[in-house]
Structure formats: C-alpha cells, structure tokens
Amino acid sequence: MSEILPKAMGRIRIPKMSPQLQPAELAVQFLVSRIEEQAARDGVPLSDVERQMLYHSESSEQTVDATTTKKFESEYDSDAYETKIARLLRNVYKRDAKLGQKRAWRDALKTLRREDRYVLVMVQQAGIKGLELGSSDRKAVLPLMIFAVIGFIMILAAFRLNWIQGYLLQGVVFFSFIALLWGLGELIGQLRSDK
C-alpha cells in the first residue's frame, strides 16, 4: 500500500490501529472512521450492528460474525442502511476533499478496489471515484496497447497491400483492433476520473 495513506490518515482524526492489520483492513478502518466521524458531526445515530456491518466481507477474515449478519438481515432495511451510509460517505468525502485529503481516499480505495467489501457498495452509491483502474493497472494495459497499435498498422497495411488473406491473420488483426479500442477507452476513462 502506498506510504501516502498512513501519512494522510495522520492529518485526519481516526482511532489507533493495530500494526498487525493488513493494508486492506487499514483502508477499511480508514473508511469506517470517516463514516463514524461524519455520523457524529451530522447527529446520525449508528447502532453497533450498523457499525459492524461496515466491516462485512464475504471473503475476508476481518468480517462480522454470523449472528450480527442475521440480526442485520432480520431487523434492518438494507436499502435504507445503504442510503444512510452513502449519504454520510458523500458528505465526509466532500468535506475531506475541501481539506485536501483526496489522496488518502484515493489510496484507501485503490487498496480496496479488488476486495469484496460491503462498505464499497455504499462508496459506489455515494458516487466517490477511486475504484477504477489505478496507474499501476494502466501500466498493465500498455503492452496490450502496443500489440493493438501494431495490429492496427497491419490493418492499414493490409488494405493498402491487399495481403489480409489467412484466417489466423484476420483474427489477429480483428482482435488487435478491438484491443486498441478497449485500451483507448480505459485510458480516456481513467484520465477523466483523475481530474
């Protein structure tokens, strides 16, 4: 995880965290602390069950017990809960962005983008950007883009030289062109979200 998250988190008041936590757990703790602080600021009560559900994950060791999950499912309206948490997230993100803390959010969300966390459902509902491809993912797209550009040049040469005849070559040219279009779309989308 980036070194920025702990530094930026130091400027935002959050509870002490155990050094044994993994980066994903630290990122979840960051989001939960921001939600709890905004709930206190807005006077929005959060029950223990609601707080615990912010840590829920189907695939992580840091999750809530089955009793809490069953209690949540039977006693709470998940749509209302998600709307409530999304509103808190939206408000605290706007506040933190004004205070220059966007980078801490970006680092936390980048850490969690491949995680299966319930809190991320509310992050998406809040319209907070950061779960898209990161800069390291853009680097992974680069070899595909190079292959696509070569394929596109082959398309142009094929039409001029009329040598696109074999099925294999046609398939390579076709998939190269599709990869070029996909890669350009990903890069343009990422550039827009970085602004």
Indicate if 115 and 142 belong to the same structural domain. Answer: no
Q: Kindly report the CA angle at 57 between 53 and 60, in degrees rounded to 5?
A: 130
Domain range enclosing 75: 4-125
Indicate if 42 and 120 belong to the same structural domain. Answer: yes
Give the DSSP H or E segment for 102. Answer: helix 102-112
Instruction: Mark which of 103, 125, 147 sits at the end of a domain.
Output: 125
Question: For 19-32, what is each residue's pLDDT tens digit?
Answer: 555 888 899 999 99
Indicate if 97 and 148 belong to the same structural domain. Answer: no
Please provide residue 57's backbone torsions phi and psi, each rounded to the nearest 5 degrees: -155, 140
Neighbours of 184 (CB within 10 A): 13
Question: For 34-65, what is each residue's pLDDT tens digit?
Answer: 999 999 999 999 999 999 999 888 776 556 78
- Whether residue 162 is predicted with pLDDT greater than 70 in this model: the reply is no
Q: Output the 3-class SS for 104-167.
A: HHHHHHHHHCCCCEHHHHHHHHCCCCCCCCCHHHHHHHHHHHHHHHHHHHHHHHHHHHCCCCCH
Instruction: Mark which of 91, 107, 125 sits at the end of a domain.
Output: 125
Question: For 87-106, what is each residue's pLDDT tens digit?
Answer: 999 999 999 999 988 889 98
What is the separation of C-alpha 21 from the centre of its chain, rounded to a whole number of angstroms? 19
Indicate if 117 and 149 belong to the same structural domain. Answer: no
Indicate if 116 and 169 belong to the same structural domain. Answer: no
Q: What is the pLDDT of residue 193?
A: 55
Indicate if 26 and 118 belong to the same structural domain. Answer: yes
Q: What is the pLDDT of residue 15?
A: 46
- Examine residue 57 and state whether it is found in any structural domain, yes or no: yes
Q: Which of 10-19, 69-78, 184-193 has the highest mean pLDDT?
A: 69-78
Q: What is the pLDDT of residue 129?
A: 77
Q: What is the pLDDT of residue 14?
A: 46
Q: What is the pLDDT of residue 2?
A: 47
Q: What is the pLDDT of residue 130?
A: 66
